[in-house]
Amino acid sequence: MKGFTLLEVMVALAILAGTVLTVISAVNYHLSLVAEDREDTIALLLARSKVEELEFADPKGAVREKQGTFAPEQPDVAWKAEVSAMSAPVFSKMTVTVAWGNEGRTVSLEDYLLQ
Question: For residue 61, what are the domain limits?
Answer: 6-114
Here the CATH number for the domain that contains residue 26 is 3.30.1300.30
* Structural domains in the chain (count): 1
Model confidence at 1, in pLDDT bands (50, 70, 90)? low
pLDDT for the residue numbered 95: 95
Alpha helices in 58-109 (DSSP H): none
The size of the chain, in residues, is 115
Q: Which tens digits make up the pLDDT trace of 36-54?
A: 999 999 999 999 999 999 9
Cβ neighbours, 10 Å, residue 32: 10
**Residue 98 CB contacts under 8 Å (≥ 6 apart), including other chains:** 43, 44, 46, 47, 50, 77, 78, 79, 106, 107, 108
Residue 95 lies in a domain: yes
Residue 56 lies in a domain: yes
Q: Which tens digits make up the pLDDT trace of 87-110?
A: 888 889 999 999 998 889 999 999
Residue 41: half-sphere exposure toward Cβ, Cα within 13 Å:
6
CA distances for 4 relative to 13, 17, 33, 100, angstroms: 13, 18, 42, 56
Query: Mean pLDDT, the chain, as a whole number?
Result: 92
Residue 1 lies in a domain: no
Nearest alpha carbon to residue 67 among 80, 76, 54, 49: 80
